[in-house]
């Protein structure tokens, strides 16, 4: 069993070099194509978790992503981050219904009369693909 696992992992790294720590842009792009395929055709494949982690690591460390990563780090926190994201995406208050609720609730949050809840923060993080910590003051 151990020998089979070792051979299988070697074969997998040969097929998907990013899993073995490759820093090649071509290998990164191939991994993106593979994960897209898996999401579309085999969304419960355990390879998705491994690829996701390696892709995230590549994007955190590769120089091509440094400006984007820096911009995300420099985003304002909490409600200010929400305001900025709304501006960046050209969103109106009514377009956050699924993440926060009605336009009046969004307005109260933006004006500081109400606070973002944990559920709001999680939903916003998913929508904008940012860490939840971005919305915590």
pLDDT tens string 2-38: 999 999 999 999 999 999 999 999 999 999 999 889 9
In the DSSP assignment, the letter for residue 102 is: S
The angle formed by the CA atoms of residues 100, 105 and 107, to the nearest 5 degrees, is 110
More confident residue, 78 or 124: 124
Tokens at 99, concatenated: 């993440």
* Residue 64, helix vs strand vs coil: helix
Q: Give the pLDDT score at 21.
A: 93
* Residue 116, helix vs strand vs coil: coil
* pLDDT band of 115, cuts 50, 70, 90: confident
Asked if 105 and 128 count as a contact pair (C-beta separation under 8 A), the reply is no
Q: How many CA atoms lie within 13 A of 5 on its CB side?
A: 2
Asked if 16 and 51 count as a contact pair (C-beta separation under 8 A), the reply is yes
* Residue pLDDT, tens place only, 47-100: 999 998 999 999 989 999 898 888 767 755 788 899 999 999 999 999 999 999
User: What pTM was computed for the model?
Assistant: 0.57
Alpha carbon distance 23, 28 (integer Å): 7
Tokens at 15, concatenated: 């097929």
* Residue 117, helix vs strand vs coil: coil
Q: What share of the chain has pLDDT > 90, as a percent?
A: 64
Tell me what the mean pLDDT of segment 99-121 comes to: 89
DSSP E strand boundaries for the chain: none
């Amino acid at each position: 069993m151990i020998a089979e696992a070792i051979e299988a992992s070697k074969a997998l790294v040969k097929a998907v070099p990013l899993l073995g720590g490759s820093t090649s842009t071509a290998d990164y792009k191939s991994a993106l194509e593979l994960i897209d395929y898996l999401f579309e055709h085999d969304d419960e494949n355990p390879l998705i978790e491994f690829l996701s982690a390696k892709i995230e690591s590549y994007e955190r460390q590769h120089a091509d992503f440094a400006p984007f990563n820096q911009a995300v780090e420099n985003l304002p926190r909490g409600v200010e981050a929400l305001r900025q994201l709304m501006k960046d995406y050209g969103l109106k208050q009514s377009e956050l219904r699924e993440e926060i609720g009605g336009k009046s609730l969004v307005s109260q949050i933006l004006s500081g009369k109400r606070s973002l809840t944990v559920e709001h923060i999680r939903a916003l993080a998913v929508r904008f693909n940012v860490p939840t910590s971005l919305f915590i003051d």
